[in-house]
Structure 1
Amino acid sequence: MDWTEFYDNQAGRAARPVLLQALELCGVDQPGTALDLGCGEGTESRHLLVNGWRVHAFDADPAAEARVKAGLDEDQLGRLAFLQARFEGLGELPAADLVYSGFALPFCDPVAFPGVWAGIRSALKPGAVIAAELFGPHDSWADRADMNFHDRAAVEVLLSGLDVRSLVEDDRPGQSGLGPKHWHVFHIIARNPD
């Protein structure tokens, strides 16, 4: 999929609500280390950097690094580490106080997803927060063999052992950056036990 048009359509938007809610839950006076998995055009990475976080941003798109870095000052750039990689090539993730993945994890190959999810869970420090979206089986793209989809029971299994603060299921027709579609999305905010 060519993401250029999608990223161009996303330029200038505000940080997504699930990230803002997760940051409220973090409640730390001293921002820590965040992972932005599938950072896209970089809105959430830049929001984190502006607010003092150290950010490890990951995306497979070759143009993503330039998009993320656009408009950052020297201090913010010094707290950013970017890796161009697909989910399947992430390897061991750095320990994090916050893991964010907005509308990106569904694009992980379904065969690789269990290992990627295990790596995300391993990266969560005690008390760390995860904020992410997963797609459900009613989503317009659910027939795609290169994406992963989970019903509510499977999402609850994935979140087992975490303190789930918000699990909102959104199952409705709507718009995407690529046009009309039916959304079936689980918006997740959870905390790793201390």
Structure 2
Amino acid sequence: MTNTKRDWNSYYNAIENRPPRRTILTALAGFEESGFAIDLGCGTGRDTEELLTQNWTVLAIDQETETIQRLQAKFEDHPQLTTQVSSFEDLKFPQAVDLINASFTLPFCSPVAFPRVWETIFNSLKKGGRFCGHLFGDRDSWRDKPFIHCQTRFQVETLLKPYKIELLEEEEHSGQTPLGEARDWHIFHIVAQKNE
């Protein structure tokens, strides 16, 4: 979602057939009925597909035009899917959104753009709406990369003060990226409801 040197096509090829993430499933379980969702940094649609399966109307946003084209081809003009190509810097959301999903997206938002994007997410959600997604922690081995924005535990908790926290799980482990790069992961898995 920002101008990075990552090989996004290879990354999306590597994860294309993976199931929806636990954060989106947890958030969806909190709703009694379907509504309107934004999938921010949708990629090839692993979470978008689950939203559509559960009869949600979805605005899927990604900065990569080719990725959006692949998503459109995959869902063949699905009547409940709208797509948008946008960077974080140009991001504009509609109001009265029930759910905003940002799976492994916001860490790629620049420190300059992040405060505005986070505020936009909050302001766009209905009261009782939910945010779900991930942030990278300050012990992540990518913390010094120019395209990564990391948070301390205190910073994450501060960001979530206006919300009712339904899931805040901190994970640290050594492993690999989907492209086989060695990595020490420090991740916050989040589901939070905007206070009514």
Q: TM-score, normalised by structure 1?
A: 0.93
Aligned residue-pair number = 190
Partner of 1:138: 139
Shift of 1:145: 2.5
Partner of 1:81: 82
1:51 aligns with 2:58: no
In structure 2, distance between residues paired with 1:12 and 1:146: 26
1:187 aligns with 2:183: no
In structure 2, distance between residues paired with 1:133 and 1:172: 15
Unaligned segments of structure 2, at least 5 residues: 1-5
Deviations 1:95-121, CA, capped at 9 Å, x for gaps: 211110100110011111000000000
1:24 aligns with 2:29: yes
In structure 2, distance between residues paired with 1:70 and 1:22: 27
Deviations 1:108-157, CA, capped at 9 Å, x for gaps: 11111000000000011011111110001111210013321100000001
Q: TM-score, normalised by structure 2?
A: 0.92
Partner of 2:155: 154
Aligned counterpart for 2:67 among listed residues 64, 69, 83: 64
In structure 1, distance between residues paired with 2:120 and 2:128: 16
Asked if structure 2 preserves the Cα contact closer than 8 Å seen for 1:42 and 1:64, the reply is no
Q: Which amino acid aligns with 1:163?
A: K
Identity of aligned residues (%): 37
Change (3 A) 1:8 1:101: same
Unaligned segments of structure 1, at least 5 residues: none
**CA RMSD between the two structures:** 1.3
In structure 1, distance between residues paired with 2:79 and 2:111: 34
Change (3 A) 1:105 1:93: farther
- Higher mean alpha-carbon deviation, 91-100 vs 7-16, is at 91-100
Q: Which amino acid aligns with 1:34?
A: A
In structure 1, distance between residues paired with 2:93 and 2:13: 30
